[in-house]
């Protein structure tokens, strides 16, 4: 049985984050010791490791909640789990494509700068005038949040 600190150390998830996961119902509330401190067992550790790993792979907490629900039912078809992972893959691919376009644009901007004054600065100029871009780039919404 571990304290929350030991659990944090064992999984690499910070203490407040563990409490947050409990608060949103992603992790069951564990038993407490006589002094009201949380005590975790190895099953909790495994579950938290699962969550952490899925987070590292960019799954949103809601998808992780679903995956955890599925993993509790071993006899079931894994169709849904596949679909979730597949969806995540598609999103990661879209983000990569998008970031590659941004990188190209930023590189062009930075390389064209002659390091003179603001008045001649290619960075400022390009930002002010989208027509100077080679590519269209998508709305910020597509760029938001992470994986």
Partner DNA sequence: TCTAAAGGCTCTAGTCACTAGAGCATCAAG
Partner DNA sequence: CTTGATGCTCTAGTGACTAGAGCCTTTAGA
Asked if 70 is part of the footprint of a second copy (rule: CB under 8 A), the reply reads: yes
Q: Which is nearer to DNA, 59 or 109 (CB)?
A: 59
C-alpha–C-alpha distance, residues 96 and 88, integer Å: 12
In whole angstroms, what is the distance from residue 18 CA to residue 85 CA?
A: 24
Site string for DNA, 60-99 (x = CB under 7 A): xxx-------------------------------------
What residues between 81 and 120 interact with a second copy by CB under 8 A?
Answer: 81-82, 84-86, 88-89, 92-93, 95-96, 99-100, 102-103, 105-107, 109-110, 113, 115-120
> Cα separations (Å) of 55 from 10, 28, 39, 83, 136?
16, 18, 23, 17, 31
What is the enclosing helix (H) or strand (E) of 31? strand 31-32
Tell me the H-state helices in 15-60.
Answer: 15-23, 42-56
Site residues (vs a second copy, CB under 8 A): 12, 46, 49-50, 52-58, 67, 70-71, 73-79, 81-82, 84-86, 88-89, 92-93, 95-96, 99-100, 102-103, 105-107, 109-110, 113, 115-121, 123-124, 126-130, 133, 137-140, 143-147
């Amino acid at each position: 049985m571990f304290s929350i600190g030991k659990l944090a150390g064992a999984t690499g998830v910070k203490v407040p984050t563990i409490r947050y996961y409990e608060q949103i119902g992603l992790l069951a509330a564990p038993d407490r010791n006589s002094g009201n401190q949380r005590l975790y067992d190895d099953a909790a550790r495994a579950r938290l490791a699962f969550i952490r790993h899925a987070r590292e792979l960019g799954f949103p907490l809601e998808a992780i909640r679903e995956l955890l629900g599925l993993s509790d039912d071993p006899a079931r078809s894994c169709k849904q789990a596949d679909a979730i992972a597949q969806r995540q893959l598609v999103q990661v691919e879209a983000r990569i494509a998008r970031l590659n376009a941004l990188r190209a644009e930023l590189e062009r901007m930075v390389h064209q700068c002659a390091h003179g004054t603001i008045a001649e600065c290619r960075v400022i100029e390009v930002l002010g005038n989208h027509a100077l871009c080679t590519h269209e780039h998508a709305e910020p919404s597509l760029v938001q949040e992470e994986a």
